[in-house]
Amino acid sequence: MDETYRLGLGNNDILTRKRAEQDYVKFWEEEAGKLHWFEKWHKTLEWTPPFAKWFVNGKINASYNALDVVSQTTPEKSAILWEGENGEKRSLTYGELLNYVCKVANVLKSLGVKKGDRVTVYLPMIPELIVSLLACARIGAIHTVIFSGFSSQSIRDRVYDSKSKVIITSDGGFRRGTIVKLKQIVDEAISGLDFVENVLVYEHAKIPITMGEKDKKWSDLIHSASEYCEPEKLDSAHPLYILYTSGTTGKPKGVLHGTGGYLVHLYNTFKWVFDIQKSDIYFCTADIGWVTGHSYIVYGPLMHGATQVMYEGALVFPTPKRIWEIIERYKVTILYTTPTALRMFMKYGDTLPNSKDLSSLRLLGTVGEPINPEVWKWYFKIIGKEKCPIIDTWWQTETGGIMISPVPGLETISLKPGSATLPLPGINVAIVDENGHDLPTETKGYLVVKDPWPGMLLSLWQDDEKYKVAYWSKYKTMYYSGDYAIKDKDGYFWMLGRSDDVLKVAGHRLGTAEIESGFVSHKSVAEAAVCGIPHEVKGESIIVFIVLKEGISSSKQLESELIQHIRDVVGPIATPDQLYIVSKLPKTRSGKIMRRLLKAVAKGESTGDVSTLEDEAAVDEIRIALNELQKTISKKSN
């Protein structure tokens, strides 16, 4: 990449990296001292590959570190500034949040929830979602959040696997002007599951609901609950939560995270990456149903006493300027969002963000997938006005927290559009070949983590063998991320998407992310999604779906121009056999393109559960496009 931007906010603390390189175990031991421990650990790391125990026998509580520590000094500081899609607004200080969490924790105890019990949380993006998680953590219950867009069958699968004793939900949630009937979905999901003892229902949407024998109204129980609940002194390795994540095949995996190591990882990475200051207003657009929400909405920010904006609804509803209005209204200083969301915002042009006062922003972050260089530059120039560092973060549900990213809180660094830059202090990542050997620079390979790190998953819920197979069977002593990457001559990492999102065309390996970035770099393209279908000669045939920017019309001339463009920027081998211009792509409600649906439709297979889609019509549109493709192929073969 020939463009670099020398930006940063930090104090050039190179000693942090030096300490980490000299002895990463001792380094994390020193960093752990920044948290509140009821009892100090006896041993920093017990590493028996592939299982790691951090801060052995140390006693800690996530809720205490997230609330009590701050509330003891600044109880009046704003913790959550919440806004609903319908314009409703609420705010909670740290003192109020602590009291609320204690009351809910006492409610859970009154329902028989004990340390180690599982509690499923199926709520919209409202303060009660954060409150519920911290209440579970306070009493040692293991929370398992289910994204509020999931279907009843998806919920049933997860509740059955976790054997949750209690489910916390609401009557409904707001999305694009409609009400999603969450309680009704839960009722369908748990029918016949006798191990579910109680369903705690928060009345948010104020719609009529059917209350059964197991159902309890939040308002009825919270009214009489005590405002203080003693935090459980939990072992560092005590499970904090289960979060189910989909793989390429099979049922979702229950990723299990502990307490002590996870909190240490989040506390430090949040400070390093976001350079958090007391005056900051932080806004992460993720849903707490995903790991980003767990780590960098619930635990990371609160442990630092940050004030954050929380929003329920679609960021482009009722108008595409909604997100820019929120930033202007709350004077947001740090924005953390996804490349997919940015491409969506780009589609509406520069006029909307330019019409709002975004001058409060000082740092911009991305998460969830590789960011196209063109999108990076738009984010930097139009949203950040060339003054804000772009924090492109790489990490996973399994890693618990950020692993590769610029660190403005520690050092000034040269930023390259599209690169996640360098591993964080104490994180040892590498790019290797099929045999686990380090690859030279500028060579594509598999991204691995060579040493254990505090935020790493403990295992998969009740399935140690699957944990070993999924992450440690390819390389016995290195964590296999399943991601494809390249390291340049400066040591910067460039993410090329999932290694299973790699096409093999005429013997050449092509990452779908690389091809998609090539298309998005064209001035007319807002989004691109690539998939492959079997080809008798080439192995795989490239199909691309393009969404154009607002005001751009489709034409045969433009299609030809796009094909020539990809030949120029990636190479002739990336030339698609079929290119379709569509109005939308199939996305989850958290904004990610569901590439598995593209593959399924392209191969004529069942699309399976599409309940997490923002707009199911997108699948129908692509299916129609592929039906036309099949007709074209049939005509050619005849």
Give the full edge-to-edge strand order of the sheet including 253-257: 215-217, 198-202, 166-170, 118-122, 142-145, 241-245, 253-257, 459-460
Q: Which DSSP letter does residue 165 get?
A: S
8 A C-beta contact, residue 542 and residue 503: yes
CA gap 305, 293 in Å, rounded: 16
The pLDDT of residue 249: 44
Q: Cβ atoms within 10 A of the Cβ of 219, count?
A: 10
In the block, tokens 């820019």 appear at 324
The pLDDT of residue 633: 40
Say if residue 13 is exposed, middle or buried (CB neighbours under 10 Å; 0-12, 13-18, 19+). Answer: middle
The pLDDT of residue 1: 39
Q: What confidence tens digit (pLDDT) does each residue in 307-330 have?
A: 999 999 989 888 999 999 999 999
CA trace torsion 108, 112, 117, 120 (10° rounding): -50
Say if residue 638 is exposed, middle or buried (CB neighbours under 10 Å; 0-12, 13-18, 19+). Answer: exposed
Say if residue 168 is exposed, middle or buried (CB neighbours under 10 Å; 0-12, 13-18, 19+). Answer: buried
Q: Has residue 578 been placed in a domain?
A: yes
CB neighbour list of residue 426: distance below 8 Å, 6 or more residues apart: 20, 24, 27, 28, 31, 453, 454
HEC letters along 488-522: CCCCCEEEEEECCCEEEECCEEEEHHHHHHHHHCC
8 A C-beta contact, residue 59 and residue 235: yes
The total number of structural domains that make up the chain = 1
The gap from C-alpha 544 to its chain's centroid, in whole angstroms, comes to: 25
The pLDDT of residue 634: 45
Q: Where are the alpha helices (DSSP H) in 44-200?
A: 62-63, 69-71, 94-110, 127-139, 152-162, 182-189
Q: Has residue 173 been placed in a domain?
A: no
Q: What confidence tens digit (pLDDT) does each residue in 201-225 have?
A: 999 999 999 999 999 999 999 999 9
The pLDDT of residue 412: 75
The pLDDT of residue 6: 58
In the block, tokens 């159902």 appear at 215
8 A C-beta contact, residue 49 and residue 60: no
Question: CA 547 → CA 353, 492, 520, distances in Å?
Answer: 20, 30, 9
- Indicate which CATH number applies to the domain containing 631: 3.30.300.30
8 A C-beta contact, residue 263 and residue 38: no
The pLDDT of residue 405: 96
The gap from C-alpha 331 to its chain's centroid, in whole angstroms, comes to: 24
Q: Residue 172 corresponds to which amino acid?
A: G
Q: Has residue 567 been placed in a domain?
A: yes
Q: Residue 375 corresponds to which amino acid?
A: V
Q: Has residue 599 been placed in a domain?
A: yes
The pLDDT of residue 3: 67
8 A C-beta contact, residue 384 and residue 417: no
Q: Has residue 465 been placed in a domain?
A: no
The pLDDT of residue 636: 41
Q: Has residue 385 been placed in a domain?
A: no
8 A C-beta contact, residue 357 and residue 331: no
CA gap 269, 610 in Å, rounded: 34
Which parts of 341-397 are beta strand (E)? 363-366, 390-392
Q: What is the value of pTM for the model shown?
A: 0.86
Buried b / exposed e over 545-581, threshold 16 CB at 10 Å, is bbbbbeeeeeeeebeeebbebbeeebeebbbbbbbbb
User: And the tokens for 99?
Assistant: 């009291």
Low-confidence ranges of the chain (pLDDT < 70): 1-14, 246-250, 506-507, 509, 588-592, 596, 602-604, 606-638
3-state SS class at 601 = helix
Domain span at 564: 508-637
Q: Has residue 547 been placed in a domain?
A: yes
| Proportion of the chain above pLDDT 70, given as a percent | 89
The pLDDT of residue 623: 64
Q: Has residue 608 been placed in a domain?
A: yes
Which parts of 394-436 are beta strand (E)? 413-415, 429-432
